[in-house]
Amino acid sequence: MRNIVNGIMGNTLRRYLVVALMASLAVTSGMFAYAYTTGTQAISVTAATADFAEIGPASGSAATPPPTYKGSKLFGSYRGAMWGGTLFSVNVTDDYTGDIAINVYLDNIDEMGKNYGMWMMKLRFVDSADNATAVDIQGIDRPLTLNNGVVTFIAKDLVSANEYYIDAVSGVYRSHSWGYITNFGTIQPSITAEILQAQ
């Protein structure tokens, strides 16, 4: 029996190693068992009192009538111009200080394409007090066309007390050779705008 015990336990050095290993496992398992802690934290959210911005039909004394076609008839291969005008009015709220993005869509391109080979309206985002200088970060006019049916403006540091406009500066068009329409209302472009938080 003594030989069996000696064979299992081996020499003294091996016994010390086994005892030390067992002791370290007992200590570390106890440390891991007591290192786990729990806690809770309540988070409260305050509801917004108003939208960060509003976009709608042009309003205010500085707004000009929406763009109109020059002329009253559309003949085959006819080229013409559009007068400028104010499309939309934009206002930001007092407590919003971030950047905004505005997307303007030509949402009936499929209908327009039946009558027009080319249609382009040049858009600008301006302060109503000036109504000429662009206030978006790039400060340039953007073309809304049959090939590019969306225009995006990015603006920052807008003042809540000011009203801003999306203006059509001017435009041109050319009808297909088979186009013949006596009333421009039947092919009137449909333009939609949305405003988003950019930051």
pLDDT, tens digit, 9 for 90 and up, residues 146-192: 999 999 999 988 888 888 999 999 888 888 777 665 444 456 788 99
**Letter string b/e over residues 74-95, b meaning 16 or more CB atoms within 10 A of that residue's CB:** beeebebebebbbbbbbbbeee
pLDDT of amino acid 185: 44
Residue 162 has a CB neighbour count (10 Å cut-off) of 14
In this prediction the pTM is 0.68
The enclosing H or E element of 165 equals strand 164-175
Which region among 52-61, 100-109, 133-142 has the lowest average model confidence (pLDDT)? 52-61
Percent of the chain exceeding pLDDT 70 equals 65
AA letter at 86: T
The answer on pLDDT for 108 being more than 60 is: yes
Measured over the CA atoms of residue 90, residue 95, residue 97 and residue 101, the dihedral's sign is negative
Give residue-wise pLDDT tens across range 58-72. Answer: 776 667 777 776 655
**DSSP 8-state symbol, 74:** B
